[in-house]
Chains A and B, each alone.
Chain A
Amino acid sequence: AQKITQTQPGMFVQEKEAVTLDCTYDTSDPSYGLFWYKQPSSGEMIFLIYQGSYDQQNATEGRYSLNFQKARKSANLVISASQLGDSAMYFCAMREGGTGNQFYFGTGTSLTVIP
C-alpha cells in the first residue's frame, strides 16, 4: 500500500481564492511527522509546513495551514489568498517514528493559479 496518497494530479484556483490540496497517509506507527513541500518549475523543493502526530492543534505558517484529521489519516494543505507565485507542484510527505530514515513522498499535485 502507498504510504502517501495525493489524488489530485492537477488543480486550478483563482487568484486571491483559497485552495485545499488533499493528502492521505498510511501508517500503523502512533508517532509520525507530516510535511508539505512546494516545488516550482526551477526544481528546488521548498519546505512549507510540519505537523506532528501528537500535535493538538493544526499547524499554520502564514498563508499555509494544515487540516489534520488524525482518525481519517488525512493532512490536507490549505493555501489562503492564492498568489500567482503559488503555481507549482506540491508534495505531501511523512516520516515515521520507528523507521526515521524513511521519508515517504506522494506523487504531488500541480497547482495553477489563474489571474
Chain B
Amino acid sequence: ETGVTQTPRHLVMGMTNKKSLKCEQHLGHNAMYWYKQSAKKPLELMFVYNFKEQTENNSVPSRFSPECPNSSHLFLHLHTLQPEDSALYLCASSQDIGRGPGGTQYFGPGTRLTVL
C-alpha cells in the first residue's frame, strides 16, 4: 500500500534557485510529514501537519518552507539551499498522530535532491 506520490523524483538545483517538492497522498489520511534522509544518518523528521495544521517543526532552517493546503497535499518550498542540504526527502502520511496502528506512516518514493 503505497498511495503516496512525490514529484519530482530527482532534482538538481543551484544554491540561488527556488524550487518546490510536492507530495500527495491518496489514502484519506489526516497527517502528513516531511523527512530528510542523509547518508549515514538516521531519518530526520522535519515537519508534521495534522488536519492541515503544522504541529511540529524540528528546528528546520527557514530556507525550507512547508505548505499544507489540505490533508492530501504537502509541499516543501526550497530557497537558497546549501550543498549539505543534498539528501533524499521523504514524504509520509498517517491516519492519525497516535501511537497506535493509526499512527503508522506510509511513505512516498522520495525526491533525491542535489544542491550544487
Contact = CB atoms under 8 A, between A and B. Distances in A.
Q: Do A and B bind each other?
A: yes
Interface string B63-87: 0000000000000000000000000
Interface in A46-72: 46-47, 50, 52-53
Contact of B55 (A32, A47, A101, A108): A101
Nearest to B110: A43
Interface residues of B, number: 28
Given A45-B92, A101-B56, A107 B99 contact: no
Interface string A99-110: 011110111100
Nearest to B4: A44
Contact of A106 (B42, B48, B56): B42
B61 interface: no
Given A33-B101, A96-B99, A43 B112 contact: yes
A100 B104 contact: no
A91 interface: yes
A100 B112 contact: no
Interface residues of A, number: 27
A103 B107 CA distance: 13
Interface in B35-57: 41-43, 45, 48, 50, 55-56
Given A95-B99, A106-B42, A44 B104 contact: no
Given A102-B56, A107-B41, 7 more contacts: A44-B2, A44-B107, A44-B108, A97-B99, A101-B56, A105-B42, A107-B42
